[in-house]
Amino acid sequence: MSVRHFVSVFDIIGPIMVGPSSSHTAGAVRLGLVARAILGEQPAEALIELHGSFAHTGRGHGTDRALVAGLLGMKPADDRIRHSLELAAAAGMRIRFAEADLGQDAHPNSARLTLGANQRRVTVEGASIGGGMIRVTRIEGYDVLFTGEHDALIVVAEDRPGTIHTVTGLLLAHQINIAFSRVERRQRGGEAIMIFETDDPIPALIPETITDFYWVRWARHVPKVTD
């Protein structure tokens, strides 16, 4: 499996953001944004586990505030990031931080976010890989790979014939081009996760329609988080 990433002058210069570090601030905000979108709403509770340098120096660099800012829906340039913990508390969001060893293969700037709201719960692992860029590596225990550089449709469903055709057919009907796709499953006939990264925004009707199929556990639209 190859990693798709092309470096531009904007990656080198870095994103417009509230400091002090693109890895510890902009990337962390984007990880929070992606995790929020995968949950499908603002979390009511969050366990945020920090790995590597995120665990060792993250709080001094504002990683904790940046991740929470993303969970609140803020962007990297939002002046409210420094106050995100207070704003989350005011919104009734219950947050707990911990350190975790995500394995020797995990990027030093990695985090695992376990989020809950109403009847929903999701666990997302990802890393801030520099220049404000991110890499999402696990969702609900499935190994994945996407960067937030495209809109994405994520579907967790029974591994059964016709599911991929149904999803791609809906995207085609709305003239949405698929840039990249990936399917992961634990066993044949069990459950699978499908990620479709697209060149176009995904209307809310699509994940809502997919969720109505009885063999689908959930479907989410994750808007791109890069500028």
- Residues 9-33 pLDDT 10s: 334 334 444 444 555 689 999 999 9
Q: List the beta bridge partners of residue 134.
A: 128
- pLDDT, residue 91, reads 96
Same-domain status, 120 and 191: no
| Phi/psi-derived region of residue 205, left when phi > 0, alpha when psi is between -120 and 50, beta in every other case | alpha
Residue 221 belongs to domain with CATH number: 3.30.70.260
Q: Which of 139, 161, 190 is the last residue of a domain?
A: 139
Strand order through the sheet with 151-158? 178-185, 191-198, 151-158, 216-222
How many other C-beta atoms can be found within 10 angstroms of the C-beta atom of residue 103? 9
Is residue 2 domain-resident? Answer: no
Which residue, 111, 139, 167, sits at the end of a domain? 139
**Which of residues 114, 139, 164 is at a domain's end?**
139
Co-location of 33 and 120 in the same domain = yes
Residue 29 shares a structural domain with residue 48: yes
Domain assignment of residue 67, yes or no: yes
20 lies in the same domain as 124: yes
How much of the chain exceeds pLDDT 90, in percent?
A: 77
Q: Domain of 195?
A: 150-227
Into how many domains does the chain fold? 2
For the entire predicted model, the pTM comes to 0.87
pLDDT at 27: 93
Q: Which value, to the nearest 10 degrees, does the dihedral of the CA atoms of residues 125, 152, 36, 54 take?
A: 30
Looking at residue 39, its pLDDT comes to 97
pLDDT values of the chain reduced to their tens digit, one per residue, 227 residues: 344 444 443 343 344 444 445 556 899 999 999 999 999 999 999 999 999 989 887 677 789 999 999 999 999 989 999 999 999 999 999 999 999 999 999 999 999 999 999 999 999 999 999 888 999 999 999 999 999 999 999 999 999 888 899 999 999 999 999 999 999 988 887 899 999 999 999 999 999 999 999 999 999 999 999 87
Kindly state whether residue 6 falls inside one of the protein's structural domains: no
C-alpha span between 93 and 85 (Å, rounded): 9
Q: Examine the domain organization and report whether 132 and 21 are in the same domain.
A: yes
pLDDT recorded at residue 99: 95
If residue 94 lies in a helix (H) or strand (E), which one and from where to where? strand 94-99
Question: Who contacts 219 (Cβ-Cβ below 8 Å, separation ≥6)?
Answer: 153, 154, 155, 156, 157, 206, 207, 208, 210, 211
Position 59 scores a pLDDT of 72
Judge if 45 and 73 occupy the same domain: yes
Query: Coil, helix or strand for 160?
Result: coil
| pLDDT score recorded for residue 7 | 44
Give the residue from 190, 46, 219 showing the smallest Cα distance to 123.
46
How confident is the model at residue 23, as a pLDDT? 55
5 lies in a domain?
Answer: no
Tokens of residue 206, six digits: 């699509």
What pLDDT does 188 receive? Answer: 84
∠ CA(15), CA(18), CA(23), 5° rounding?
55
Query: How far is residue 93's CA from residue 96's CA, in Å, rounded to a whole number?
Result: 10
Do 126 and 164 lie in one domain? The reply is no
Alpha-helical segments (H) within the chain: 9-13, 27-39, 52-57, 63-71, 84-90, 163-173, 205-211
In a domain, 4, yes or no: no
The per-residue DSSP string of 176-227 comes to PPEEEEEEEESSTTSEEEEEEEESS---THHHHHHHTSTTEEEEEEE-----
